[in-house]
Amino acid sequence: PDPLSDITRIRMRTRANRCLYPGATFQGTQKSGRNSYDVTVTIVDVDFATSFLCGYLCIRGLTDDWPELTTYFDAEIIGSRHGFLTQNWGASENEDLVHWSRFPAFRQIKHEAKRPRLTIDDRDRGAVFMRWKEKFLVPDHRVHDINGASFAGFYYVCVDFNPAATASSNTVCDVVTDDERGGRKQQRTRRGSNTKKTSVTRSPASPVPYAAPVATMSGFYYHQNSEPYQQLSLSHVPETCSSSFEFR
């Protein structure tokens, strides 16, 4: 074909969804027993049309030999193509339901799941469910055996686009104090009070700035021979700008 011809009409466009786009970063921890490890997840590619996502998972401090361990993973996005039943990697239906039920978002939509594979319709529910399967170590894919670490299992993952907001409120808090002279108790507010009968001009309260909720990513690692319910707790790292490249 002519190298100068316009191929815009036939190129493949990445189909992302909110914070799930190529280059998106999530940071947080993975807890295993009493231990906690720093984790960074970077999305490499995502295509909701084919229910596919892939990326890198970097965990720090897991082993002495590998202070920073990075693996590449493929993900199945739960929907009409992939159901909540794993049917692979040693996971039974009971294990699937126990793990998925740990996500509050799943408990709200589990009645929609359809047999036999517990699939759901492809539409926006404010959350995305996935299964991650780590494939190999980065950068040396030939390493398969790591002392103190294993990626033979998989992750149950939920990305919640609208987590519960924890915005601070500028409310008046009543504080009860003792009056030194009469032993009486009177109410005061954190903004201050005046016990004299004088008029006080109060300026209107300044509006509290609203911060959009940051998407969260949570997950549970499963393997028959591993400690159960090793938990991922990550948050999306917002970007002020984004860029994309196309090679022709």
What DSSP line would sit under 183-230, residue for residue? --EEEEETT----SS-----PPPPPPPP-PPPPEEEEEEE-TTS-TTE
Contact by Cβ (8 Å): 134, 71: yes
The pTM score is 0.75
Write down the residue that tokens 């409120």 correspond to: 169
| 18 part of a folded domain | no
CA distance 201 to 44: 57
| 47 part of a folded domain | yes
| 195 part of a folded domain | no
φ/ψ of 57, rounded to 5, equals: -120, 120
Overall residue count recorded for the chain in this entry: 248
CA distance 98 to 108: 15
Q: How confident is the model at residue 232 (pLDDT cuts 50, 70, 90)?
A: very high
Residue-wise pLDDT for 146-170, tens only, equals 777 777 899 999 999 987 633 333 3
For position 206, what pLDDT does the model report? 52
Of the candidates 217, 225, 222, the residue with the CA atom closest to the CA atom of residue 29: 217
Most trustworthy range by pLDDT among 97-101, 169-173, 185-189: 97-101
Number of domains present in the structure of the chain: 1
CA distance 233 to 30: 6
| 191 part of a folded domain | no
Query: Contacts by 136-139 with C-beta closer than 8 Å and gap 24+?
Result: 136/71, 136/72, 137/69, 137/70, 137/71, 138/56, 138/70, 138/71, 138/72, 139/70
| 171 part of a folded domain | no
Angle at 25 between CA 133 and CA 39, to 5 degrees: 60
φ/ψ of 31, rounded to 5, equals: -105, 130
DSSP designation for 68: E
- pLDDT score of 172 more than 50: no
Of all residues in the chain, what percent carry a pLDDT higher than 90? 53
- pLDDT score of 134 more than 80: yes
State the burial class of residue 82 (Cβ atoms within 10 Å of its Cβ: 0-12, 13-18, 19+): buried
Residue-wise pLDDT for 71-105, tens only, equals 999 999 999 999 999 999 999 999 999 999 999 99
Give the mean pLDDT of the chain: 80
Contact by Cβ (8 Å): 14, 45: yes
Dihedral sign computed on CA atoms, order 75, 81, 86, 88: negative
| 232 part of a folded domain | yes
Write out the residue range of the structural domain in which residue 84 sits: 24-163+211-237
| 180 part of a folded domain | no
Residue-wise pLDDT for 1-49, tens only, equals 576 766 666 665 667 788 999 999 999 999 988 899 999 999 999 999 9
For position 62, what pLDDT does the model report? 85
As a dihedral over the C-alpha atoms of residue 108, residue 112, residue 118, residue 119, rounded to 10 degrees, the angle is: -110
| 247 part of a folded domain | no
Segment 108-133 shows an average pLDDT of: 95
Listed in sequence order, the DSSP H helices in 103-168 are 104-109
For position 13, what pLDDT does the model report? 61
230 or 244: which leads in pLDDT: 230
